[in-house]
Structure 1
């Protein structure tokens, strides 16, 4: 039975697990996921690409918490629109049009490069991801260090 104390986890471990889980969405070659052991904060990785020995009770949500993906935390096109709203309001329509077709992020990043905002985008994306991941962890009873 899990403890009522918050499960401690290092932010770097949580971030790595998040990136791993997100790698399959939507273009990863293998299905993969990451889970946090609620008794220890240890991350368990599951991937079709590896035949690792996994805990037999990995599907027990009282013991293991699935790590969300970028899509689970709405960190896809929503972030691009938010960034555009704050830093490129004049390009709102253009960016909206990009995201109606395949290859949107490549075109979005080309626009950012043209406007001299690519590094600002990467900083913004990292900050928003960090905030969303920490908020999710807190909601789940994790203590991020």
Structure 2
């Protein structure tokens, strides 16, 4: 299976609050299936609950790619912003405000590169831990 198919499913699952979107991958074929709480049009196979060959794609929160990742970035790239970022995350709209702060400090591109690299690492580690073989050229 390809990394991009796993990443696409991960991005779908993570594009909403936990449990609102879901996706599974077939361990052998690599085929992915999607479902949303907002639609009755489920793409899941009938035997998904009874077949161990299907594994649920994690949400970004399951891989600790939320606030923990933000603080890792801040500590390593802009420690002088630590108190401001902590304050930002104590209110609603934290990610939008965080990205606004990074944009103001010309760090948004660095954040996106950092976030993408860490996400890839976490997803590949998750795949390995679940016995999913990813094509090396993907």
- Find 2:34's aligned residue among 40, 45, 68: 45
Aligned length: 134
Do structure 1's residue 12 and structure 2's residue 1 form an aligned pair?
A: no
- Find 2:21's aligned residue among 15, 32, 41: 32
Task: State the distance in 2 between where 1:120 and 1:108 align.
Answer: 13
Structure 1 length-normalised TM:
0.86
1:4-60 Cα offsets, whole Å, 9 max, x none, are: xxxxx100100000011112225xxx9221101123111111224252453111123
Q: Which runs of 5+ in 1 are unaligned?
A: 1-8
Alignment of 1:67-106 (within 5 A): 67-106=57-96
Cα distance change, pair 137–90 in 1 and its aligned pair in 2 (3 A): same
Richer in helix (by share): 2
Alignment-derived partner of residue 123 in structure 2: 133
Q: Which runs of 5+ in 2 are unaligned?
A: none
Cα distance change, pair 53–33 in 1 and its aligned pair in 2 (3 A): closer
CA offset at residue 61 of structure 1?
5.4
